[in-house]
Structure 1
Amino acid sequence: MSNPSFFDEQKEQSLIKARIVEKYFWAWAKVIIGVIKGTKIKGRRVDERIAYIDLFAGPGRYKDGSESTPLKVLETALSEPDMQNMLVTVFNDVNTNNVNSLQQAINSLPNINNLKYQPQIINQEVGENIVRKFNDIKLIPTLFFVDPWGYKGLSLQLINSVVKDWGCDCIFFFNYNRINMGLNNAAVEEHLNALFGKVRADEVRKQLKQLQPEERELTIVEAICEALKEMGGEYVLPFGFKNDKGNRTSHHLIFVSKHVKGYEIMKDIMAKESSEQNQGVASFEYNPAVSSRLPLLFELYRPLDELEEMLLDEFAGRTMTMKDIYDLHHVGRRYISRNYKAALNNLEAQGKVIAEPPANKRRKQKGEITFADNVIVKFPSRQ
């Protein structure tokens, strides 16, 4: 389950993946630190530590000199005084050479000694022992990153052992290409059962026999998302990566949280990192060959129009604020807040909804009429 050439050169897909993790780490840490400080001000005792754990950390740098995720996270922490004093980091890799290389790369970071808690680097195989350790303790708020080359060591139990506690979120690498091939391979059945749960894995295996490639991907990704939700990870968000030719999905980055705030933050980050925007709606996918990808077919699909129709149907006869509409509707869909505001602006302009205050009494920003969270929307009844 390893690829010796993986760390030779950082591909664009790896750069996007690392950027998503780095951006979310920053936003997550700022939110958690704010909560901790607020609790302390109220006079309550609180553990003032936060953590970042990476169980498949790699060597720290690619052979071309590019930094991998552990170094980016540490540099982010070094740039912010609160993080310097509060962040605990744990980096693991089963490969001894990777561990030694990572240690050297971390030691070479400027001002690394400014961290109150120096990075812990361990050399263990990821399996049931680590799951038991996490299950047996109450974790401090932790961002958990799991990026195996294949899928060995990745399991529902591992993810749940971390996200079970407050403030703990998980981002993991879902190697769709290998998992798709492995689901019908008896030699790796145990690993895939651990990832999906045996009952669900067997059901997926049955479904795949009759499906086309695109349907296989939707079925497999839906299955892992449902498994995570059943486990208690209520908010799950996948981001797809196409291969270099742009004609096939290679892997997904999947986010899991028990709190809607983290879900909203990650959705905004993934939307901005998407390679395609259609009517302002992100694809939640990175495709290095996007410029040559069926432009006519892409234009025929109009997701904002679809959102407008959904809102008219689902909220018919109701009066509510833009924020209430967004909160009730966005989970499980790829629309972000600004998409809802654009859709409601369009519906108001077409006379299909009534907004209060109306458009002529709302301010303009960059030439467009704003639609604040507290604007009240009245939907007509459907006949």
Structure 2
Amino acid sequence: AGPGRYKDGTKSTPLLILEKAIQDADMCEMLVTIFNDANGDSSKSLEEAIKSLPGIESLRHYPQVYNFEVGTQIAQMFQQMNLVPTLFFVDPWGYKGLSLRLVQSVLKDWGCDCIFFFNYNRINMGLANELVREHMNALFGQTRADALRARLISLDPRERELEIVESLAQALRETGGRFVLPFGFRNAQGNRTSHHLIFVNKNIRGYTIMKEVMARESSKVEQGVATFEYNPADRHYPLLFELSRPLD
């Protein structure tokens, strides 16, 4: 979840969410927020930053902040819960803790959507690293991960990215995620992908809303169709592939 405020004063996501909620009377009554960070200093800093927010007392449900590492126990906990409509955002440090089981444990309930940070650079390297084979298998499923490793050997960098994201989208669909929408981010030089945000859910309404949000943030639009990519350095080299729609 981050520390609330970073060293340069930039607000982390929880504060931005809460500030928006405080300004909305309906959200003040309905919104339940749960934040977690494995770093104890960050979670404590976040708690203090939340306390200092003007109007925080107007929220009916005061934000909860936890300090634990995301792993199999968290997935098991969610699996046993009946969740209210929830937007679940997962931002792991690399890939540890991110698994199909974790995503499925949230998507199983009505009205639940998941957005997760997909560290493409780390995962691209990890697929060929025997030391993290277990983590890769948990993310893609063992059969799909093995097949993916074999296909990647002969592919160039652009094809590798397409293949990896497509394989992940297919795996997510098998867990119950009917709609999968990736949004790619380029590095500061604009010459390679650094990461993706992956949205997955079961309902066309949530998918449509997220698609509109991502389209507004896209660096370029081709013939009225958003590229679903943010390139901070150069907007003339969009990565065009059809992952902006549900897989058929």
TM-score range, shorter chain: over 0.9
Q: Is the 8 A contact 2:186 2:232 kept in 1?
A: yes
Gaps of 5+ in 1: 1-56, 304-329, 334-383
Q: Which residue of 1 aligns with 2:147?
A: 203
Gaps of 5+ in 2: none
Does 1:332 pair with 2:246?
Answer: yes
Q: Is the 8 A contact 2:181 2:245 kept in 1?
A: no
Q: Is the 8 A contact 1:140 1:167 kept in 2?
A: yes
Q: Which has the larger radius of gyration?
A: 1
Indicate which of 82, 88, 96 corresponds to 1:138. Answer: 82
| 1:314-353 pair list within 5 angstroms | 331-332=245-246
Indicate which of 213, 217, 231 corresponds to 2:161. Answer: 217
Shift of 1:278: 1.8
Q: Is the 8 A contact 1:274 1:286 kept in 2?
A: yes
Instruction: Answer 1 or 2: which has greater helix percent.
Output: 1
Determine helix, strand or coil for the equivalent of 1:290.
coil
Q: Is the 8 A contact 1:174 1:253 kept in 2?
A: yes
Distance 1:109 1:225 in 2: 38
Determine helix, strand or coil for the equivalent of 2:35.
strand
Q: Is the 8 A contact 2:83 2:109 kept in 1?
A: yes
Deviation string, structure 1 residues 3-56 (Cα, Å, up to 9, x no partner): xxxxxxxxxxxxxxxxxxxxxxxxxxxxxxxxxxxxxxxxxxxxxxxxxxxxxx
Identity %: 61
| 1:54-93 pair list within 5 angstroms | 57-93=1-37
| 1:13-24 pair list within 5 angstroms | none
Deviation string, structure 1 residues 255-308 (Cα, Å, up to 9, x no partner): 0010011111111111110011122221100001225x45xxx7xx9x9xxxxx
Shift of 1:224: 0.5
Shift of 1:182: 0.6
Opposite residue 246 of structure 2, the aligned amino acid is G
Determine helix, strand or coil for the equivalent of 1:240.
strand
Determine helix, strand or coil for the equivalent of 1:187.
helix
Q: Which residue of 2 aligns with 1:249?
A: 193
Q: Normalising by structure 1, report the TM-score.
A: 0.62
| 1:151-170 pair list within 5 angstroms | 151-170=95-114
Q: Which has the higher contact order (CA 8 A, sep 6+)?
A: 2
Shift of 1:187: 1.1
Q: Normalising by structure 2, report the TM-score.
A: 0.95
| 1:266-285 pair list within 5 angstroms | 266-285=210-229
Aligned Cα root-mean-square deviation (Å): 1.7
Q: Which residue of 1 aligns with 2:45?
A: 101
Opposite residue 13 of structure 2, the aligned amino acid is T
Aligned length, in residue pairs: 245
Q: Is the 8 A contact 2:28 2:58 kept in 1?
A: yes
Shift of 1:77: 1.0
